[in-house]
Amino acid sequence: MEVNSWLTGRRGVSLPFTDECAPLCADADSFRRVFRKVLEHARARAWNYLECRGGKPWFGNAPPSTSFYGHQLDLDADEAALWIQIGSAAAPGDSKGRAKRPDG
């Protein structure tokens, strides 16, 4: 997706507003072909940079320009276990700011 900002200029963002999403490619050859096309598009559109979050195996030894934290949540667990994994900081709060479950 192309983003055009007066602050950061024109750039490509793999999936805006997501924490991480690796490129969906079957193998290294298909990734190289897709990435080559993305770079061609980036040059044609005069992007200042391309932001990709995730896909470290596809980029080999290329150093990242910045770092991000990744989060994983096992959605196969039952509801009680999910609330434990999420933690109280993400749960809705009551009027005193204490975390509680939506049904409790």
pLDDT at 37: 94
**10 contacts 47 by C-beta, under 8 angstroms:** yes
Query: Considering the chain, what is the average pLDDT of its residues?
Result: 76
pLDDT at 97: 46
> Which has more confidence, 28 or 74?
28
If one counts every other C-beta atom within 10 angstroms of the C-beta of residue 53, the result is 17
Measuring CA to CA, which residue among 24, 89, 26 is closest to residue 54? 24
pLDDT in tens, 35-84: 999 999 999 999 888 878 778 888 888 887 777 676 676 778 788 877 77
If one counts every other C-beta atom within 10 angstroms of the C-beta of residue 85, the result is 14
Report residue 29's pLDDT band, with 50, 70 and 90 as the boundaries: very high
Work out the burial of residue 1: count CB atoms within 10 Å of its CB; fewer than 13 is exposed, 13-18 middle, 19 or more buried: exposed
pTM as predicted: 0.52
> Which has more confidence, 14 or 39?
39
